[in-house]
Structure 1
Amino acid sequence: MELLDSWIASFASFVWGLPLLVLLIGGGLYLLILSKFLPFRYLGHAIQVLRGKYDDPNDPGQISHFQALATALSATVGMGNIAGVAVAISIGGPGAVFWMWVSAIVGMSTKFFTSTLAIMYRGKDSAGELQGGPMYFIREGLGVKWKPLAVMFSICGLIGAFPIFNVNQLTQAINDILLKPNGVDVGLGSNIIIALILVALTSVVILGGLKRIGKTASRLVPSMVVLYFVLVVIILVVNMNEVPKYFLMIFTDAFEANHMKGEAVFGGVLGALIIHGIRRGAFSNEAGIGTAPMAHGAAKTDEPVREGLVAMLGPAIDTLVVCTLTALAILVTGVWQTTEANGVSLTASAFNNAIPSIGSYLLLLCIAIFSISSLFSYSYYGTKCMSYLFGADKKHYYNYFYIASIVIGATTSLSMMINLIDGVFALMAIPTMTATIILAPKVVKEIKSYTSRLNSGN
């Protein structure tokens, strides 16, 4: 297992090199400039679309704008924001948060383009059902000769959609917050019991298909984001004197890299910090990876730009808001310097420090809801990839592999899980970003057409 762990870590480091960094951040900046900063100019309009002002039940698609965003957010607002930020700070220090922000701001434009394309170039699966996502906009937008890129995305998506990191961290949270403090021996047996409970809960929802996933996510996610927000505000109020110091440190440490642990990259620790922060940011908001366009591609709309505008709210919510809240909670309580804990255990230490006795239990409630809702969304992404590769009649088989992977996630190490998912996410980004950059001028044309219709009142 140690050899496998080392091999997967080397693979993740290799694929997350300078070329991918240029593709994700450089590509995102190119899209931002090309769109003349549209994601920020139309923020108010995006919120109106999300609230249902332009909904038409007769539009093609399966779920509403809000359900599409909730489904995408249920995959991203979760362990990437709670455990992922803790991993970022424990390795990179406060400065890692700044580079996560950079990833999110650029990611808003990337998500706008990828999700607009998911509606512009919807294709039909083998059952004749309308579908969206990178594999379809590659095939429909670029033509058959680009199909190998669509296949590459789908193969990597089969692995990337496995919930092993979420399950791993949820199991760790249950062990550290609930079982160990109450004198319960934890080990392989207890982990398998947790896994089997998760299997039962997940099966009920995912075997019901996308509409059940969308409805469940749209009910669970908003309430948990509000609860999590309230809890972190309490922590920040308790440690109010520390907030300005650490908020400033996020900016200063981003360029000094005083707390970066690990090997130097590009001749210095700053290079390592930038890559680390952007990796964790990409894991948090998945902009450019290509998962969210699969959810947004199922939205009921015939206006691609509208769905792109809704999608761009994702990185703002999950990275700029939720990740920042988690980061400040960890920093102001000082636990990032006083404990060796990593991942979700570090976040739990922060909550327990500021809200003794009940803080960690309330965090566990948020973690459980975020993680379980993530399980629903990722299963949908995996079945979409399976359907594209092997036909719609075979997609249900993916759920059985998916359910089995829950047991694997509950019984393996954090480092192996995070490196495996990091690695395949990187490989998914290559076809997604390549196709998006090539098709970007067509999106710009669609933007002009949409804004002129909007201004004329049509």
Structure 2
Amino acid sequence: MNHSLYDFLQIIDNLVWGPPLLLLLVGTGIYFTFRLGAIQFFKLPLALSYVFKKEEGVTGKGDVSSFAALCTALSATIGTGNIVGVATALKLGGPGALFWMWMAALFGMATKYAECLLAVKYREKDAQGNMLGGPMLYLEKGAGKKWLARLFAFFTIGVACFGIGTFPQVNAIVDASHIAFNIPHEITAIVLTVLVAAVTIGGIKSIAGLASKIIPTMTVVYVTACVGILVNNAGAIPSAISLIVESAFTGQAATGGFVGASIMIAIQAGVARGVFSNESGLGSAPMAAASAQTNSCVRQGLISMVGTFLDTIVICSMTGLALVLTGVWSMDIEGARMTTEAFSLGLNEGFGPMIVAIGLMFFAFTTILGWNYYGERCVVYLFGQRAVLMYKLVFVALILSGAFIKLDMIWLIADIVNGLMAVPNLIGLILLRHVVAEETRVYFEALKNAVSSSSDSKAAKA
């Protein structure tokens, strides 16, 4: 029965993540890259400065600061995708999958900018006075496609309950705590369920507050550990990068015991896991961006774009290089065990696995909280505030059950619902492409004029 269900889900996954969706995902990113003048490259320094600089004279509506909104989005993206997802991508598609993950992320930064810009532009307040925004709002109010908005909200609830939001995160936490500290799965599942229930009662401010503390700290700890592995294997870095690039186009590994995967599998694994990790084009981050206290949709779009850069270009790259440098990608292990083994070999047997376990537990926990919020926003959009309590009860029950589902089935279900969620959002972005371009043009013209006026004023005073 399980085998027939798995085979059936595999067929659906191959259909969902076939060439049409891959072309739509990457194609949308390529389009916005050219239409917006490669904004993710030329405006990245400005975007990074905005992350740490408070916006002056904020009179715009919002629930939390722009930085807290980014951390909420990052809490939902930085998780098992960066640690376990990269491992499963390399297992499926070889080292070349990491290259395609990079490509998807670089173009995905432009997509993330566009979707978060639209989220702030079309947001509104719900019955409780909290901000409600995201693809469901810009699909309905901007594109005039209410049926697509409802479809997106329905799929998002599916992702929150059966995809990124629950099963992969819970499975990663119980595995990591068992591997590193020998804690029984049942104990971890119960403690995790209680913690999630306690935090989600507080809503966006509670989630954003926790994420703003955990995410920056754990990111620094995890990246520092990865840098340690790179330093210990510095001599092998050029050949590792060469293997990654070569495998991306040959579909076959140059070394190791891996038989080889086709180029299509490498692309599929890299893009699918990349989207699972950074969520560019998925439509999730816009829901967090909509809660930001800001006067400018463009400014928040730039800040949100940084999320994809940090998630994939920095953190996923670190994990991927650690797996390739240590040769673990070709071993007969998978999931969290694969990354744990890489850290064990790259650092030391005691410290390495502990870093992975702690990183996984904190990252996955905040991902659960972030996705709980995304699901809640879509429940409010579809059914109103009265349905939130029932949603939260179902969500918490799924957290408890997620510890006992097999890893291969988990990733299949997550991939399918992710893909379905992306489709209406990407259609919305294409329909509203001119709005994104016009808002961007107006903002940067105003910024240029402001800088010019400031320079003239200083020159006059001199």
Fold shared per TM-score above 0.5: yes
The Cα of 1:411 is off from its aligned counterpart by 0.4
1:178 correspondence with 2:177: no
AA matched with 1:350: A
For 2:306 and 2:87, how far apart are their aligned partners in 1? 23
Q: Does 1:256 align with 2:259?
A: no
Number of the residue aligned with 2:92 = 91
Q: What are the superposed Cα offsets for residues 67-113 of structure 1, whole Å, 9 maximum, x if unpaired?
A: 11111111111100000000011121111100000010010000000
CA deviations 1:150-176 (Å, max 9, x no partner) are 111111111101311111122122222
Q: 1:242 aligns with which of 220, 236, 253?
A: 236
Deviation of 1:56 after TM superposition, in Å, equals 4.1
Indicate the SS of the match to 2:432: helix
Mapped partners of 2:118, 2:22: distance in 1: 22
1:151 aligns with 2:144: no
Per mean C-alpha deviation after superposition, the further-off stretch among 80-89 and 32-41 is 32-41
Maintained 8 Å contact 2:252/2:259: no
Separation in structure 2 between the aligned mates of residue 107 and residue 318 of structure 1, nearest angstrom: 11
2: distance between equivalents of 1:262 and 1:49?
46
Corresponding residue for 1:165? 168
Question: 2:109 is matched by which residue type in structure 1?
Answer: M
CA contact (8 A) 2:21 2:419 kept: yes
Amino acid at match of 2:172: Q
Note if contact 2:58-2:295 (Cα within 8 Å) is conserved in structure 1. no
Deviation larger for 394-403 or 414-423: 394-403
Alpha-carbon separation, structure 1, partners of 2:259 and 2:281? 26
* Structure 1 residues 56 and 2: CA distance shift in structure 2, 3 A: farther
Equivalent residue, structure 1, for 2:264: 271
1:396-411 counterparts in 2 under 5 A? 396-411=389-404
| Cα shift readout 1:101-126 (whole Å, capped 9, x = no counterpart) | 00100100000000000011113435
8 Å CA contact 1:20–1:426 kept in 2: the answer is yes
Structure 2 residue identity aligned to 1:169: A
Instruction: Say whether 1:18 aligns with 2:19.
Output: yes
Shift of 1:55: 4.6
Which residue in 2 is equivalent to 1:352? 344
Q: Counterpart of 2:281 in 1: which secondary structure? A: coil
CA distance in 2, matches of 1:417, 1:202: 20
What do the CA deviations read for 1:410-436 (whole angstroms, capped 9, x no partner)?
000111111111111111111100011
Q: Distance in 2 between matches of 1:222 and 1:118?
A: 24
Question: Is residue 243–residue 253 contact of structure 2 (8 Å, CA) maintained in 1?
Answer: no
Aligned pair partner of 2:376 in 361, 371, 383: 383
Q: Give the letter aligned to residue 346 of structure 1.
A: M
More deviation in 118-127 or 322-331?
118-127
Is 1:52 aligned with 2:53? yes
Q: Tell me the SS of whatever aligns to 2:291.
A: coil
Query: Displacement of 1:127 after TM fit?
Result: 4.4
- Separation in structure 1 between the aligned mates of residue 395 and residue 260 of structure 2, nearest angstrom: 35
Normalising by structure 2, we get a TM-score of 0.92
Kindly provide the CA deviation profile for residues 20-42 of structure 1, in whole angstroms up to 9, marking residues without a partner as x. 01110111111111111122221
Structure 2 distance, partners of 1:23, 1:336, is: 29
Matches within 5 A, 1:418-429: 418-429=411-422
Q: Distance in 2 between matches of 1:457 and 1:396?
A: 47
- From 232, 237, 254, the equivalent of 2:226 is 232
Query: Mapping of 1:201-220 within 5 angstroms?
Result: 201-220=195-214
User: Which stretch of the first structure deviates more once superposed, 37-46 or 432-441?
Assistant: 37-46
Query: Which amino acid in 2 is paired with 1:248?
Result: S
TM-score (structure 1 length as normaliser): 0.93
Task: Give, in angstroms, the shift of residue 2 of structure 1.
Answer: 2.9
Quote how far apart the aligned CAs of 1:231 are. Answer: 0.6
Partner of 1:187: none
* Equivalent-residue separation in structure 2 for 1:128 and 1:357 (angstroms): 49
**Residue 285 of structure 1 aligns to which amino acid in structure 2?**
N
Q: Distance in 2 between matches of 1:259 and 1:158?
A: 38
In the aligned structure 2, how far is the partner of 1:139 from the partner of 1:372? 32
For residues 454 and 318 of structure 1, the distance between their equivalents in structure 2, rounded to whole angstroms, comes to 28
Hey, what's the Cα distance between the residues in 2 that align with 1:159 and 1:293? 17
What is residue 137 of structure 2 aligned with on the other side? 136
User: Does 1:196 find its partner at 2:190?
Assistant: yes
On the 8 A contact 2:172/2:361 being kept in 1, the answer is no
Whether 2:439 is the aligned partner of 1:436: answer no
1-structure distance, mates of 2:16, 2:352: 38
| CA distance in 2 between partners of 1:55 and 1:174 (Å) | 44
Instruction: Indicate the residue corresponding to 1:222 in structure 2.
Output: 216
Counterpart residue type for residue 26 of structure 1: G
Separation (CA, whole Å) in 2 of partners of 1:437 and 1:74: 27
Deviations along 1:361-382, whole A, 9 cap, x unmatched? 1221111111111111010011
Partner of 2:328: 335
Query: Counterpart of 1:150 in structure 2: which amino acid?
Result: A
Say if 2:76 is the partner of 1:75: yes
Task: Give the drift of 1:128.
Answer: 5.5
1:296 aligns with 2:297: no
Q: Equivalents in 1 of 2:114, 2:381: separation in Å?
A: 22
Q: Distance in 2 between matches of 1:206 and 1:92?
A: 37
Give the deviation of 1:135 after TM superposition: 0.4
Relative to 1, partners in 2 of residues 1:4 and 1:262: Cα closer, same or farther, differing over 3 Å? farther
User: Separation in 2 of the partners of 1:60 and 1:128?
Assistant: 10
